[in-house]
Every structure is written in structure tokens, then in C-alpha cells.
Amino acid sequence: MPEDAQVLIKTTLVGIGSRLHDGQYFSYYSIDLLPGYDEELGYGTVRGTEADKQAWRSAAAEYMDVIAAANVALWKVLYRSRWRHHVPGGRGRIQSAKRRYHEDTQTARLAYQPVLDEIARRHQAEVDELRRQFLAEQAVRDAELAEIREQERRYRSLADEPVWGWIVTPGDKVWVFRYDLAPPEVSDRNARRSDEPRTAFELEQDFWELEESGISQVEWDRAARLAAARAAAPPETTATEVDFHLWWVAVTRRIWYDPNTIPAPRPYRPARPRSTSEPEPESPRSSDGTYGRGD
């Protein structure tokens, strides 16, 4: 693989303890031989090149060689040569060994520090990118949720308006209109009709009563449908029949496959007594494949 080829590099921050100061560690990044994965970016894996990987691995090896050699050298002076405390110049040799240990380890630390800083910088860059992506995705989710809530508000506001009326026309059809859009003159004063403006919820309830009397077909006034579609449609969009259909399906209680046909209530099936030894049903679905009983 070319040295400038982009790869994912797995890194682990580890350290070797100091022989001179308890609790002090010489930290370095172990460069893993295993491949990195995109989902690990920001969690120990960084982007780099083959050249970066080899350079970081060599720098860490050189750093740890110096620290390990310094630890061994100091250990020999401190623990294998305790008798030097009683020999002229022995204490001076111990102090000299400690100074040399400090100088050698500090020189090695300063030489490795740029690698430590660079890997840490790339880790932070990946963490920042993950945060940026999360915030961007959260913004999209928030916008979608706000749009849904705004749609629910429009639907509810339109459904709560008492503007609807209906008349049963010859042929047993229900003609639906809006009182705020020049209600029609009715020639047949005996025709069944709504006695006052209705909300969408009240209109559907009237439909249920009409359906019980054998009337199932609905004819919506075109201007009334268009006005409802405009009120239900998202802002700055062209209202269509689909907007009216979606609104009516959303605010009604029965399942309306077609706004022009009043749906019949689903038959109620009382639960059959079940013995205690009979297993529970696997699913709450009814025989027609839907959930719940409905009206």
C-alpha cells in the first residue's frame, strides 16, 4: 500500500511507570496492528496514512526503549548497589544516577511529545466531527418533529371549525358543503340535512347515523374540499386532493379508505371464554389483519 494512502489507525494510550517517582507514568500511544473501522472513529481510531502509522510506531518504540533503559540503569544503582551508601562518594553516585535518569527521560519525553500531541489532536478532531454529525442529525429530527406538530396543529384547528353542513340528495347521497362558502339553496325543504354548522368530528358522527339508515355515499362540494385542502396543506405548497384526503383520514375515528364512502363499523366479536390451560394468543390482530376493534 502506498505510504500516502489514507487508512484508519487504531491507537491506545498506555504508559510505563517511573522508577524515580511513584505514580508518574511515561505515556505513549500503542499503534494497533488490527484494522480500524469507521464506527470507531472518535473512540480510539483516527485517520492517517501508512507513513503516519509507521512514524508513530517507530517514535513510540524509540521512546519506550529510552525509558526502559533508564529504568533498568536507575534500578541497578538504587537496589543492586545499596552498599554504596557506605562507600565514599556512593551517595554522590546515586544522586548523579537520578539526575541522569531525569535528563534522559525528559529528553525522550520532549522528543516524543509532538507525536503525542498530533494523535491527541486527531482524536479531538474525530470527536468534534462526531458531535457535528450528531447535532446536524438532531437538527433534522427536531425539524421533522416540529413539522409533524405543526401539521397536527393545522389538522386539529381545521377539524375544530364548525363550518360543515350536509344534505341528503335524491339517490341517497350525502352532499357536504361549508356554511362559510355560500351554502346552497335547498329546493326540497323536507330533505334531511344538518340543522347547524358542524365540526369535522360532529360531521363524521352524523355520517355514522346516515350509514345506519342505509346511506353510504358522500359527495363533497368542490370548493369546500379545496378550502380544507388549503388549510391542511403545508405552507408554501400547492394544495391538492391528497391534502384533503390525508386530513380527513387523520381526524376521523373510523378507517376511511375513500372520503366518498362512509365506512361501516367493524363487527364486534365478544371474547370467547378461554380456559386457564389455553395458551395466550400470539398477536392482538383481529381476523381482518388489523389491530383493535374500532367502531
Q: Over the stretch 87-118, which tens digit does the pLDDT of each residue have?
A: 555 677 788 888 999 999 999 999 999 999 99
| List of long-range contacts for 159-164, beta carbons under 8 Å, 24+ apart | 159/199, 159/200, 159/201, 159/247, 159/251, 160/199, 160/200, 161/199, 161/200, 162/196, 162/197, 162/198, 162/199, 162/202, 163/197, 164/194, 164/197, 164/198, 164/199, 164/200, 164/202, 164/203, 164/224
Average pLDDT over residues 202-211: 94
Residue 266: what pLDDT? Answer: 72
pLDDT at 46 over 70: yes
Residue 218: what pLDDT? Answer: 95
Starting at the edge strand found earlier in the chain, the sheet holding 45-49 runs: 25-31, 6-17, 45-49
**Domain ranges (residues) in the chain:** 6-146, 161-251
Between residues 101 and 4, which one has the greater pLDDT? 101
pLDDT at 281 over 60: no
What pTM was computed for the model? 0.59
Residue 77: what pLDDT? Answer: 80
Between residues 220 and 183, which one has the greater pLDDT? 220
Q: Considering the chain, what percentage of its residues have pLDDT values greater than 90?
A: 55
Averaged pLDDT of the chain: 84
Q: Using CB atoms within 10 Å of the CB of residue 235, give its burial: 0 to 12 exposed, 13 to 18 middle, 19+ buried.
A: exposed
Residue 285: what pLDDT? Answer: 42
Residue 292: what pLDDT? Answer: 43
